[in-house]
Structures are given as C-alpha cells and as structure tokens.
Amino acid sequence: METAPGTRGAYPQMKGCVKMEKLKICGGSRLSGTLRVHGAKNAALPILAASLLPGECVLHNCPRLTDVEAACNILAQLGASAHREGESVVVSSGGDCCCCIPDELMRRMRSSIVFLGAIIAKCGWARISLPGGCELGPRPIDLHLAALERLGVEIGEDHGYLDCRVRDRLHGGIVTLPFPSVGATENVMIAAALAEGETVIRNAAREPEISDLADFLNACGGRVRIAQNGDVRIEGVRSLSPCEHRVISDRIAAATYLSCAAITGGELLLTGVCTEHLSAVLPCFEEMGCRIETTAETIRLEAPKRLRPLRCVRTMPYPGFPTDAQSPLMAAACLADGSSMFVENIFESRYKQVPELARMGADIKVEGRIALVHGVRELHSASVHCTDLRGGAAIAVAALAAQGESELLEIGHIDRGYERFEENLASIGAQVRREA
C-alpha cells in the first residue's frame, strides 16, 4: 500500500478504505510498556487539504493511515503530488489545478468535504459529490455550504454533485455557525485564508485540530488569529508560501491505548502526547480507579485489577469529552464493578458497536442518546464486525480482556485512524495478529 519508512514514493491509488483482513486477538494478557502516539488524523486531513494552496509543504508526524492515503489520492486527482519520506509527507501543489473530485474518491471518507474550501480558494470553482466514510447518522454539509456562501460562493446541485463558483474573488464576512462544527470551521478557515478582507467565524469549533490548522496557515504566511472568546479571525492574503509543519499528536489514539491498558489491569506510558488535549478524558480514568501521572508530553496510567464504574460521561464539543473517545472508554466500562452511563450529544449513531460488544457478553442498554453499561465479571471471545472507526477500536479494547480468541472482521475501519495498530498492541504484550 505504501513505501517503506525512509523511502520516497507516491501514494498508490486505493481500491477502497475497508480491506478484507481480520485481527485475531487472544484476550487475558496484562498490557504493559511504552508507546509513542502517532500524529493526529483529524489534524492531518484538513492540513493536507490546505496544502493545496501554498505550493510545496512538508508535513512531519503525518500518520500512516488509509484516510491519509485517501487524502493524498484526492490531492493527486486535483493535480498535486504527495509522497512519503519516513514519518513525513511532502506535498507539491504548484501548477494547474483540477476542480473536480470524483464520487469514488469522495465516498472513501466523510472528511473529504474539507477539500471544498481549498479548491474554491485556489481555482474559483469546484465540483464534488457528497462524501462517504463511517455512517454515524446525519451529518449534513449544509453548515459548510451556508458558511461558504457568506464568502461569496454560489452553490448549485446537479445529479448528486455540488457546483460551487465564485464570480471574482472570495470576500471576507461574518460567519456565525449554529453549531461549532469542526469541519465547517476548517473549510471556512482554508477558504478565507485567500479571501479579500477579514473573515470572522463565530461559534467556531475549539478543538486542538483547529489550532493546528491555524498554525499551519500562519506558517505559510496566512493571518489567522483565535480570539480569547473563541472567534476565529482570518485576514485574507493574496498568496501563501511553502512551509514545514509538524502535526500534533492524536489525542483519540492516546485515549484508545489508555482504554486498552485500563481494561487489562495494565500499566502504560504514552509519549509524544499533548496532555492538555486530554484534560476531559484523564479524569474519567481516574474515576475508574486508575493512577494517572503526567508531564506536558507523557501520560502514565496504572490500572487496578478491576475498574470502578463511571457516573456519567457526556460527549461535548471541545474542551468537553470527545465523542471519538466515547466508544473505547465504553468498552473498558463493560468490565467495571458497577454501572456506567454515557450520553452521546454529537452523533446519533455512535452506539453501533453495542450489538457486537453484546456478542462478547457485554450488558449495555441503549435508549436514544443514552447508554447504560452494566459491568460484567468477564467477557468471552466471539467473531465480531468492526462497525466503524471508533467502534472497531472499542471492539478491540474489549477483545483484549475477553476469555479466548476473538476474530475482528472489517478491520479496514481501524486502519483509517490507527497507525500499525496490532504492532503497537503486540509491543506492550497483547496477543494479536493480522490475517488475510
């Protein structure tokens, strides 16, 4: 699928994001050791989209994920090139730009919509289909389109495609989001970077990935400022310049590996993290009885033999508890000594992994956005399907503590967001292997 570490090579064309491979996990091993957390998928993807604008950019700490490969294939379709050099991706985007992304590429990941702002800013028009990826319930792109219209984009629909055009040049404006959408905030930031005048995004998303995108744009000569009240202010410039940028660490991967250690009664040291980005997550592990020690860039977790239950975990926009970390933590709660409650406020269909966890003996009751997890004494092995990216991670967490060997199917979902997942788990004591 990709070149070996330390070599140059273009990303190949992909046939699909879900590979017909499986993981075999024999549960019961206590995980212990050290892991370095890879770069953040949710930061890398919008930065890759934005790299269409400056020319040549080098993105360090860019994770090896199928979603990153999909983004690089989109860049190739648009006339840019992307190749990997070790942990970095080099993007060259000079010259002519194609303004159309075929349906096949858009359907590989839902976040592909973030390319819309970049294409419009570079070319003045874009033609894209609706994006694909994990099915997590309604996530309309109306927020994106309405926000871009405030910058002068005219939008039409033609046989399932969106036609977006600008008569002259994008212009600044005040964009007030009805919900702090991460994707809509990113799209407007990228488009507004080359707009005439100032753009102000009110009720903008505050996730760390937003700040990372701002840092990238500023390194390219952009003028992006995040105000104390959370407003994002972008003063448009005529052009952006090449730069080098290091992608922040993946806070969701960190939360997932902490869940793996917690459910197995293990001890784990995570390095290369930004502890501040996990301020809403770490107290949950402490509530479950885990001992947590932190520095600015490390987290050490020591889990008890049996976890305590969680009173109530409510997913919220940052700085609240992240929805992407809910599924792995729920899996850990399946073996807690008591009942835990989860309230999902972001995505309607974030509980798709529950039937698969039930096949392993979990006791979970779902009512609308609320899930009540009654801890059981043990989980047992089963053949289970990875339902989506974070749901697949949750199933892996459960399998690590289940009695016997579990078979995880459709693990291409996991490959979308976790770099060398089974290798990392094996390095800290898990009995896991990948099979075709």
CB neighbours (10 Å) of residue 76? Answer: 17
- What whole-number distance in Å separates Cα of residue 306 and Cα of residue 330? 15
**Residues 425, 330, 25: CA angle, nearest 5 degrees:** 30
Quote the tokens at residue 78. 């648009």
R_g (Cα) of the chain, nearest Å: 21
| CA distances from residue 110 to 60, 297, 321, 350 in whole angstroms, order as listed | 23, 30, 21, 15
**pTM (whole model) above 0.85:** yes
H or E element that contains 46: helix 41-50
Structural domains for the chain: 22-38+249-435 (3.65.10.10), 41-246 (3.65.10.10)
What number of CA atoms fall less than 13 Å from residue 174's CA on the CB side?
3
In this prediction, residue 140 carries a pLDDT of 65
Q: What is the pLDDT along the chain (436 residues), one digit of tens a residue?
A: 333 333 334 444 444 444 479 999 999 999 999 999 999 999 999 999 999 999 899 999 999 999 999 999 999 999 999 999 999 999 998 777 788 888 888 877 767 889 999 999 999 999 888 664 444 344 468 899 999 999 999 999 887 788 999 988 999 999 999 999 999 999 999 999 999 999 999 999 999 999 999 999 999 999 999 999 999 999 999 999 999 999 999 999 999 999 999 999 999 999 999 999 999 999 999 999 999 999 999 999 999 999 999 999 999 999 999 999 999 999 999 999 999 999 999 987 789 999 999 999 999 999 999 999 999 999 999 999 999 999 999 999 999 999 999 999 999 999 999 999 999 999 999 999 999 8
- What whole-number distance in Å separates Cα of residue 350 and Cα of residue 138? 11
Spell out where 102-204 has E strands. 125-129, 153-158, 161-166, 174-176, 198-202
Can 72 be counted among the known catalytic residues?
no
In this prediction, residue 161 carries a pLDDT of 82
| CA distances from residue 176 to 146, 147, 200, 232, 318 in whole angstroms, order as listed | 10, 8, 8, 11, 18
- What whole-number distance in Å separates Cα of residue 344 and Cα of residue 316? 8
In this prediction, residue 370 carries a pLDDT of 97
From the candidates 72, 134, 260, 334, which is the catalytic residue? 134
Q: Distance from CA of residue 431 to its chain's centroid?
A: 26
- What whole-number distance in Å separates Cα of residue 371 and Cα of residue 313? 10
In this prediction, residue 107 carries a pLDDT of 79
Nearest one of 136, 251, 148 to 195, comparing CA atoms: 148
In this prediction, residue 22 carries a pLDDT of 97
Quote the tokens at residue 115. 């390319």
* Cα dihedral 44, 49, 51, 53 in deg (nearest 10): -160
One-character DSSP codes across 271-282: ES--GGGGTTTH
Nearest one of 48, 31, 50 to 39, comparing CA atoms: 48
Quote the tokens at residue 81. 């090139």
Nearest one of 395, 329, 326 to 361, comparing CA atoms: 395
CB neighbours (10 Å) of residue 15? Answer: 9
